[in-house]
Chains A and B, each alone.
Chain A
Amino acid sequence: MNAEYIEKIDETIYTKQLDNGLKILFVKKPEFNKVVASVTTKIGSINNAFKLDGKEYRISDGIAHFLEHKMFEKAEGDTFAKFSMYGGSANAYTSFDHTSYFFSSSAHFEENLNVLLEMMTTPYYTKETVDKEKGIIGEEIKMYQDDSNWILFFETVRNLYANHPISIDIAGTEETIADITAEELYLCYNTFYHPNNSVITIVGNFDEEVAMEAILKYYGTINTKNNFTPISISDTAVHKSSSVVKMDVNNPKCCVGYKQNKEITYDYKRDIAINIYLQMLFGKTSDNYEVLASKGFYPSYSYSEVGNVGFATISSDAVDTKLFFEMVEDLMNQDLNEDDFLIFKNKNIGEIVRNFNTVDSIMKMYTDAFVNEYNINDVLKQVEQLTFEDVCKYAKELFTNGNKTTVVIEGK
């Protein structure tokens, strides 16, 4: 394996890529009790169209999440029970652009890893099990319909994007999952779960020889070709500038969303720059924090880049939603203090070091880096080299009125 020592955080990262394209990444932490291992594939809710062997496919909305559920079920029973036999705690999640399966354990690493890798390489879908799962996922979809914060976020995203699959609920809808078949699941599995679209990450207290032997046993012999091409959609204009949703909520909630008005590819520098800009405007170190708090606003803010789109959200519970929108707009026109920027650099350097505190956050960082194709080992350097001008430039591109939407959730 290739070893790269990161001096500033005193960690060594081991990497390897198999001939079939599978990426492998180990971070050894023998002083921890725990080990986490994950298999991540680049299929999420936005990956709903692709070309394979000259043919175009449009797959059901929500199928990435459906696959995630079905991977645990096998002919001999539920894989959760197998992990439990070895004290492993397993789970999985689906996001906009990837699906990750993982376990954590403090003993029986080899057995748990074998359970994970066997599960990932032996898909099992039948009409009966697929139909049964539709009921379970249907209930999960309904659960989110009662979650006002979830509705607020997705309504904002839908206002920003009419055509892009980012506007599709990660689990799909009861209607879109109704047509999913075992055949469609196999098509998606064979296309997206191929080694050249996946990474195995192991962090914590484990024996790397045992790990590599297990990985080669399950993945080393996969030599099938996989030449799919994702079909991406360009969606640069705001779909709807405002909307109101009625729900059974006690206090109104509101959100301002901004989108990049061009197609993008992930850029760590831009990502961190815009997040620093938001921290400088709305974080506790800004003068604005107290001004907003005095009016009862405690904004949550974030900026994300997913596939070829990037968007920011600023949301809060707010009795006076109109005032919140006005204040956010005023703040967006404010000049930032360059001296503050240096403090924020220190803060972000501290955050990156802190992320190496737990095996889970290390795994999450490296999973994100795999999905977005950047080198995590360089990020400290990138933050150190970031300038105030970079932050202002990126913020100016994103935060313009033409790129904006507003959403209010109010009681019925």
Chain B
Amino acid sequence: MEFKNIDNVKYMYEDEHKFKTARVSFKYSLPIQTETCADLIVLNELMAMSCEKYPTVKLLNRKLSELYDAKVITNLSQKGKLIIFEVAFNYISNKYLPTNLDDEIIRLMNDILTKPNLTNQEYLDTIKQKRILEIEAIYDEKMQYAIKKMKETLDEKQEVLIDVNSTVEAIQLVSLESVNEIYQKLMSEANLTVTINSENSAELMQQISQGISFQVKTNNYDYLHTFEKRDSAVFIEETQNLTQSKLVVGSQLAIEPNDFIAFQVFNGIYGGFPFSRLFSNIREKQSLAYTVYSAFDAALNVMIIIAGIDNGDASQSGEAMLSNIMAALKHECDDIASGNVLAEEIDKSKKMLINSVKTSLDSQAATQLVHYSYGLRNETFSLTEFEKKVNAITIDDVVRMAKCVQFDVTYLLRGDK
């Protein structure tokens, strides 16, 4: 991947011949704040709906369809302490079409990024209504709901574990004025990175830098988060009319960037992969859960363990099921921390980790995200370097990582069917 800074915009570009499409991603980053999420998510959707030149959903989408199914993909996500506002363009590479689309696409990028349509009250109301329905629908996605509730407890002050989807109350307050304000803030205060993968990326980069006028500055925003150790564990329970119960455990960590890969290898052994102990011992051997796994978010320094468990039946009460699975989750972690880890387990975890990164590089969006994430902490991603680091992890590293895990918050969504 090549890098270039032009007018405070960081360009990352690479010639790409394996995909049938070109992808250009504009990622604006700002420190995450609860107060701005609602406006940002509404703005994110508004920019995908229309712009001054194509002022209706129909007209913009007609244009995209004419351009052989070109896509405008907007997304709001979190990376550690930053909120990432993305507008990406994906279109069929010229060699597969009877016509060259680059010029038309750059004009469209300029229209969407610099001349958005932020005056349509009806669109605003439509998006707000849709966002509210989606927030409320989380209640119906029981596992997502349980994860959300656990996160709210793990970060009570809502400093970093912020739901970028915001809340119903905050969405209701969004207005055309507030959306215009957040757009101005984004265009002037955010850091902007443009990632380009196409057949002729350097040329396309030049065309974009000349064809679109950006007004951004370069800011030094903090990215990685570290939790302070929690004094005591918290257990929260809620009951709903469900056939199965959902259990979510959160562990807040203070892993340093140098140890991120070591923790990923540990997580692979513990619960991150299909061969992991949680799946093979707790689901397959002990049948304590129908689904069970763990996930590590390095930028947020959080590990989450997720399990779907039976409500209990005549032979075993719900209480017994819960206490059995909690003991089993703890046992597997303690066992690794005590050094009871096979070389074979470490080897498998390393291979799976390398495999997952290599395979993600076969997606344009994921490739761009990997390079962008490394760029956020001023590092450059190299697959060879990554493999070297993974292969250097020892059993001592894995044991050290397992010792960092404590079950800080446990949230149980109990089913009573």
Q: Which residues of A contact B (CB under 8 A)?
A: 8-10, 29, 31-34, 78, 80-81, 83-91, 104-108, 132, 135-136, 139-140, 142-143, 145-146, 148, 204, 248-251, 283-287, 289-290, 293-294, 296, 298, 317, 340, 343-344, 346-351, 353-354, 356-359, 412
**Given A9-B96, A143-B243, 15 extra CB contacts under 8 A:** A34-B359, A136-B287, A139-B308, A248-B241, A286-B58, A290-B126, A294-B125, A340-B62, A343-B62, A346-B67, A347-B69, A349-B69, A353-B96, A358-B363, A359-B362
**Are the CB atoms of A85 and B136 closer together than 8 Å?**
no
**Are the CB atoms of A90 and B274 closer together than 8 Å?**
yes
A215 to B19, CA, bound (A): 29
A9 to B97, CA, bound (A): 9
**Are the CB atoms of A80 and B275 closer together than 8 Å?**
yes
- Closest chain A CB from B165 CB (angstroms): 15
**Are the CB atoms of A145 and B243 closer together than 8 Å?**
yes
Classify chain B: how many residues form its interface, as a range: 35 or more
Within 8 A of A (CB), among B179-211: none
In-complex Cβ contact of B352 among A78, A87, A132, A358 (8 A): A87
B52 at the interface (CB under 8 A from A): no
**Are the CB atoms of A248 and B242 closer together than 8 Å?**
yes
**Are the CB atoms of B58 and A289 closer together than 8 Å?**
yes
**Are the CB atoms of B355 and A354 closer together than 8 Å?**
no
**Are the CB atoms of A107 and B140 closer together than 8 Å?**
no
Offer 12 A-B interface pairs, CB within 8 angstroms, sorted by A.
A84-B275, A85-B348, A104-B355, A106-B354, A139-B310, A143-B290, A148-B140, A248-B140, A250-B137, A285-B58, A298-B130, A350-B92
In-complex Cβ contact of A107 among B20, B62, B130, B351 (8 A): B351
- Closest chain A CB from B28 CB (angstroms): 24
- Closest chain B CB from A71 CB (angstroms): 14
**Residues of B contacting A132 in the complex (Cβ-Cβ under 8 angstroms):** 287
Within 8 A of A (CB), among B79-128: 92, 95-96, 122, 125-126
Within 8 A of A (CB), among B353-377: 354-356, 358-359, 361-364
**Residues of B contacting A353 in the complex (Cβ-Cβ under 8 angstroms):** 20-21, 68, 92, 96
- Closest chain A CB from B170 CB (angstroms): 18
**Residues of B contacting A34 in the complex (Cβ-Cβ under 8 angstroms):** 358-359, 362
- Count how many pairs of residues, one from A and one from B, have CB atoms less than 8 Å apart in the complex: 176
In-complex Cβ contact of A343 among B66, B243, B363 (8 A): B66
**Are the CB atoms of B240 and A248 closer together than 8 Å?**
yes
The 10 closest A-B pairs by CB, nearest first: A350-B69, A87-B351, A139-B290, A350-B68, A106-B358, A84-B275, A31-B18, A347-B65, A284-B61, A87-B355
**Are the CB atoms of A106 and B244 closer together than 8 Å?**
no
B280 at the interface (CB under 8 A from A): yes
**Residues of A contacting B57 in the complex (Cβ-Cβ under 8 angstroms):** 284, 289-290, 293
Count chain B CB atoms within 10 A of each CB in A104, A285, A348, A356 and give the residue with the most.
A285
B139 at the interface (CB under 8 A from A): yes
**Are the CB atoms of B130 and A296 closer together than 8 Å?**
yes
In-complex Cβ contact of A351 among B66, B69, B142, B361 (8 A): B69
**Are the CB atoms of A84 and B359 closer together than 8 Å?**
no
**Residues of B contacting A146 in the complex (Cβ-Cβ under 8 angstroms):** 142, 242-244, 415
Q: Contacts A106-B358, A248-B240, A289-B57 known; A347 to B68 CB distance under 8 Å?
A: yes
Residue of B at shortest CB range from A32? B362
A349 to B21, CA, bound (A): 13
Q: Which residues of B contact A (CB under 8 A)?
A: 17-21, 56-58, 61-62, 64-70, 92, 95-96, 122, 125-126, 129-130, 133, 136-137, 139-140, 142, 240-244, 273-275, 279-280, 283-284, 287, 290-291, 308, 310, 344, 347-348, 351-352, 354-356, 358-359, 361-364, 415
Residue of B at shortest CB range from A352? B69
- Closest chain A CB from B316 CB (angstroms): 12
Q: Contacts A34-B359, A84-B351, A350-B69 known; A250 to B284 CB distance under 8 Å?
A: no
In-complex Cβ contact of A84 among B62, B70, B352 (8 A): B352
A359 to B19, CA, bound (A): 10
- Closest chain B CB from A253 CB (angstroms): 9
**Are the CB atoms of A106 and B359 closer together than 8 Å?**
yes
A340 to B62, CA, bound (A): 8
**Residues of B contacting A349 in the complex (Cβ-Cβ under 8 angstroms):** 68-69
A354 to B415, CA, bound (A): 43
**Residues of B contacting A9 in the complex (Cβ-Cβ under 8 angstroms):** 20, 96
A83 to B57, CA, bound (A): 46
**Are the CB atoms of A317 and B364 closer together than 8 Å?**
no
- Closest chain B CB from A207 CB (angstroms): 17
A105 to B17, CA, bound (A): 21
A143 to B310, CA, bound (A): 10
**Are the CB atoms of A296 and B243 closer together than 8 Å?**
no
Q: Contacts A33-B359, A143-B291, A296-B130 known; A80 to B20 CB distance under 8 Å?
A: no
A104 to B177, CA, bound (A): 49
Q: Contacts A8-B96, A289-B58, A343-B62 known; A80 to B274 CB distance under 8 Å?
A: yes
**Residues of B contacting A283 in the complex (Cβ-Cβ under 8 angstroms):** 61
In-complex Cβ contact of A143 among B95, B122, B244, B352 (8 A): B244
In-complex Cβ contact of B69 among A10, A90, A354 (8 A): A354
A177 to B64, CA, bound (A): 48
In-complex Cβ contact of B70 among A10, A80, A142, A350 (8 A): A350
**Residues of B contacting A104 in the complex (Cβ-Cβ under 8 angstroms):** 355, 359
A348 to B21, CA, bound (A): 15
**Are the CB atoms of A343 and B65 closer together than 8 Å?**
yes
A343 to B62, CA, bound (A): 7
Residue of B at shortest CB range from A90? B274
**Residues of A contacting B274 in the complex (Cβ-Cβ under 8 angstroms):** 80, 83-84, 89-91
In-complex Cβ contact of B20 among A86, A89, A356 (8 A): A356
A142 to B70, CA, bound (A): 40
In-complex Cβ contact of A250 among B122, B139, B359 (8 A): B139
- Closest chain B CB from A283 CB (angstroms): 7
A137 to B132, CA, bound (A): 35
Count chain A CB atoms within 10 A of each CB in B68, B130, B136, B273 and give the residue with the most.
B68
**Residues of B contacting A85 in the complex (Cβ-Cβ under 8 angstroms):** 344, 347-348, 351
**Residues of B contacting A294 in the complex (Cβ-Cβ under 8 angstroms):** 122, 125-126
A90 to B69, CA, bound (A): 32
**Residues of B contacting A296 in the complex (Cβ-Cβ under 8 angstroms):** 129-130, 133
A353 to B284, CA, bound (A): 41
**Residues of A contacting B95 in the complex (Cβ-Cβ under 8 angstroms):** 10
Count chain A CB atoms within 10 A of each CB in B142, B284, B356 and give the residue with the most.
B284
**Residues of B contacting A293 in the complex (Cβ-Cβ under 8 angstroms):** 57, 126, 130
**Are the CB atoms of B133 and A317 closer together than 8 Å?**
yes
Residue of A at shortest CB range from B96? A353
**Are the CB atoms of A32 and B18 closer together than 8 Å?**
yes
- Closest chain B CB from A7 CB (angstroms): 10
